[in-house]
Amino acid sequence: MQITTTLAILFVDDHDTAIDWYTRLFGRTFDRRPMDPDAEWDLGDGRGVQVYLDPARAGGHDVVLGVPDLDSTLSELRSRGIDAEKFTVPSGQFELAMLTDPAGNKVILSRSSADTMPATERYTSHRTIAASPSDVFAFLADPDKHRHTEPTDWVRGAVDSDRITGPGQSFAVNMYLDEAGGEYVMHNVVTAFE
C-alpha cells in the first residue's frame, strides 16, 4: 500500500469557535469545506488538518505538527492570541509545546533536536541484543511492549494490545509527562512494516 495523503481529523463541539482558533493557529482561513460540518487546512505535501463538528466525540484527540523553529513559531502564535510554553522531553530528542483547542483536543508542536544540533553534541546509543532479528521484530510489533523501549517512564502502555501486522495500521499508547499536563494518549500510524 502506498500512502499519498494524511488528514488529521479533530472533532469539535462548536464549529465557529474551532474555525476561529485554527485560523489563528495556521495564520489563514481554511482551504476548503468538503461538507457542511467540517473545514480543512491543506498543510502541503498531501498533509492536512480537518475540524469536524461532532459534539459527541469532541475533544480528547491529539495531532503532532512538526515545525522547523519552535521559538519563532511560539512567538508568532502569541501575536495571534495562542500561548504555550516549550519544553524538552526527558531524552532530549524533541522540543514540544502543547496547545489545547477550545474543544479540548491537543495540538502538539514538535521540533527534533537533531534538526539543529551539531553532530558533536548528539547523543547516540548502541546496544547489542542477544536475540534473533525475528524476536526483536516480534517484540516491537507488540504495542504494549513499547514501554520497555523508553528509558524513562514516559511511555506507559498500549491502549489496546492488538499486535501490529502491517502498514496503515494505527495503535495508541498511554503516555505521561508532567510538562505535557500529565496523562495523554499518543496515536501512531504504521508507515512501514518489513
User: Does residue 154 lie in a domain region?
Assistant: yes
* Tens-digit pLDDT profile for residues 104-115: 999 999 987 655
Sign of the C-alpha dihedral, residues 137, 166, 46, 184?
negative
* Tens-digit pLDDT profile for residues 47-63: 999 999 999 999 988 89
Say if residue 161's pLDDT is above 90: no
What is the helix (H) or strand (E) element at residue 183, kind and residue range? strand 182-189
What is the predicted pLDDT for the residue at 126? Answer: 57
| 83 and 26 co-located in one domain | yes
* Domain boundaries, position 54: 6-121
Which amino acid is located at 97 in the chain?
Answer: A
Helix, strand and coil percent figures for the chain, each rounded to 5: 25, 35, 40
| 170 and 98 co-located in one domain | no
- CA–CA gap between residue 86 and residue 32 (Å, rounded): 31
User: Does residue 56 lie in a domain region?
Assistant: yes
Q: What is the DSSP letter of 191?
A: -
- Cβ(48)–Cβ(7) below 8 Å: yes
Q: Which of 64, 96, 121 is the last residue of a domain?
A: 121
Say if residue 167's pLDDT is above 60: yes
Stronger pLDDT, 149 or 118, i.e. the higher one: 149
